[in-house]
């Protein structure tokens, strides 16, 4: 199965699950409040499959899997016979209507807790955030961070693994300082340091948040031995082979893969003398890196070789697995971290601390779905939880076309004692739809530019 088809299928499964969860929230609370639900649709367009239950609700799976809706009996939309008025949405109290609207995002948050609960029950392999080295002159170096220390907290929020540290650091984009709690892995001594992030620049498309701060975590390292030579590459044409150990390039000793990358990248279409160790003998091979133009328009050299990697450092990789109760607590805490991050990122978009060029659309989500699904159920559950939280938070934004917009109108109705006029609501819906379409367009263009 090709990668594109796998991504598409994974995307459809993920979106189908999350939309069903969201709409079921509206549906369930509407039923509990005595509202007649006329249709529960997953997808838009032509119905592929439909059936009715005893209460008369039509359940539909439609052809376009890009959304869904719950259609309730409502006098503002349909003619309603007098004997059925008590079943209409618009005849319920403001609090009942607010509960029905809020139930969709709430269901997304509950599902995220469930998905992460299941993930922690199954066990998730993760890594301890142990600092292996610090980049000279970096933000981390200036704060006095040294190797062999584990990050245990970010701004007083406890961090259990590298993933949670990553989320907590991303949440601090735009902050002028970040306080890290550290523990020496040998002496177990604890201390805290403050990073001066007033000039911090982080581009998630080019580097990790750790790299941007100068923190190099303990993990497998790329070696200077060749693991793979790409067919028809400059390396194959020159005679480089798997298991060759590169020891010198144009007289420069090579001790790290990053050195090799820099030398090759800076020498497109230039002949280089590469010394390799092969079967105990040292050979000198002339090779000319191929010219590659990057997406940013820069020229770089490429050999077409992949390095071998070292084993994981001892004690860094471990499995987080809990029993039923503890897994629920971990899932709830992880969900709350996702919620905080999502709200924080929306705020940073509004303040300009995060650029709209980092918005992701359906193509990026499909790629994420395909990648995590390939890694297994545990990774896919984490992805579903993250997207479910994002869906819930976005739907709570006070845009009239979203659930948050409906809640905003109902809040105004509570304060004024009467509903917002139909004309005002209609104007708001058009304005909200325009903003939403603009954001979706930007996200889609970002996706296309990343291809």
Please give the pLDDT value at position 81. Answer: 80
Question: Is it the case that residue 267 has pLDDT exceeding 60?
Answer: yes
State the average pLDDT over residues 62-88: 85
Q: Span 222-309: which CATH code?
A: 2.30.42.10
CB atoms near residue 409 (< 10 Å): 21
Contact 75, 355 (CB under 8 A): no
Q: What is the pTM of this model?
A: 0.84
- Give the HSE-up count for residue 86: Cα atoms under 13 Å, Cβ half-sphere: 2
Longest CA–CA span in the chain (Å) reads 95
Tell me: domain 125-220+311-320, CATH 2.60.120.10, correct?
A: no
In the chain, domain spans: 92-123+322-451, 125-220+311-320, 222-309
**DSSP string spanning 184-232?**
ETTT--EEEEEEE-TT----TTTS-HHHHHTEEES---EEEEEEEE-TT
State the average pLDDT over residues 178-206: 89
Residue positions counted in the chain: 451
Question: Is it the case that residue 136 has pLDDT exceeding 80?
Answer: yes
Question: Is it the case that residue 159 has pLDDT exceeding 60?
Answer: yes
Active centre residues (catalytic): 23
Question: Is it the case that residue 184 has pLDDT exceeding 80?
Answer: yes
State the average pLDDT over residues 22-40: 93
* 337-347 tens-digit pLDDT: 999 989 988 88
Please give the pLDDT value at position 110. Answer: 97
Poorest-pLDDT segment among 53-57, 189-193, 238-242, 366-370? 366-370
Band the pLDDT of 259: cuts 50, 70, 90.
confident
Same fold yes or no, 125-220+311-320 and 222-309:
yes
Per-residue b/e over 211-242, b at no fewer than 16 CB within 10 Å? ebbbbbbbeebbebbbeebeeebbbbebebee
Token pair listed for 152 = 């245990």
- Measured distance CA(100)–CA(435) in Å, rounded: 24
State the average pLDDT over residues 156-178: 90
Mean pLDDT of the chain, nearest integer: 88
């Amino acid at each position: 199965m090709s990668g594109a088809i796998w991504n598409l299928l994974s995307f459809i499964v993920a979106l189908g699950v999350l939309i069903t969860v969201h709409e079921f929230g509206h549906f369930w609370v509407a039923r509990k409040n005595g509202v007649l639900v006329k249709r529960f649709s997953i997808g838009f367009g032509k119905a592929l499959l439909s059936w009715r239950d005893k209460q008369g609700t039509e359940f539909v799976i439609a052809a376009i899997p890009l959304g869904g809706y719950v259609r309730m009996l409502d006098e503002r939309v349909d003619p309603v016979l007098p004997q059925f008025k008590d079943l209409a949405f618009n005849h319920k109290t403001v609090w009942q209507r607010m509960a029905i609207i809020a139930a969709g995002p709430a269901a997304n948050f509950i599902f995220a807790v469930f998905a992460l609960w299941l993930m922690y029950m199954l066990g998730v392999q993760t890594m301890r955030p142990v600092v292996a080295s610090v980049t000279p002159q970096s933000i981390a170096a200036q704060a006095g961070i040294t190797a062999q220390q584990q990050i245990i907290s970010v701004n007083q929020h406890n961090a259990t693994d590298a993933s949670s540290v990553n989320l907590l650091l991303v949440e601090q984009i735009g902050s002028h300082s970040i306080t890290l709690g550290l523990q020496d892995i040998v002496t177990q001594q604890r201390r805290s340091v403050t990073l001066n992030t007033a000039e911090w620049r982080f581009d998630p498309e080019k580097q990790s948040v750790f790299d941007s701060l100068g923190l190099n975590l303990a993990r497998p390292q790329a070696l200077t031995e060749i693991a793979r030579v790409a067919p028809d590459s400059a390396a194959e044409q020159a005679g480089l082979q798997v298991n060759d150990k590169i020891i010198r390039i144009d007289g420069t000793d090579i001790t790290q893969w990053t050195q090799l990358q820099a030398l090759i990248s800076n020498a497109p279409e230039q002949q280089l003398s590469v010394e390799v160790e092969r079967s105990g003998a040292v050979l000198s091979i002339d090779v000319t890196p191929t010219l590659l133009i990057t997406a940013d328009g820069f020229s770089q050299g490429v050999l077409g070789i992949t390095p071998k990697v070292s084993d994981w450092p001892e004690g860094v990789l471990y499995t987080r697995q809990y029993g039923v109760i503890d897994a629920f607590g971990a899932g709830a805490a992880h969900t709350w971290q996702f919620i905080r991050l999502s709200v924080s990122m929306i705020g940073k978009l509004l303040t300009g601390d995060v650029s709209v060029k980092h918005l992701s659309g359906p193509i990026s989500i499909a790629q994420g779905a395909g990648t995590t699904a390939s890694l297994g159920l545990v990774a896919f559950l984490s992805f579903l939880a993250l997207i479910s939280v994002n869906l819930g938070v976005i739907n709570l934004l006070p845009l009239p076309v979203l659930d948050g917009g409906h809640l905003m109108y109902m809040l105004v109705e509570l304060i004024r004692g009467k509903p917002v006029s139909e004309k005002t609501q209609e104007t708001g819906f058009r304005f909200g739809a325009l903003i939403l379409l603009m954001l979706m367009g930007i996200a889609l263009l970002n996706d296309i530019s990343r291809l």
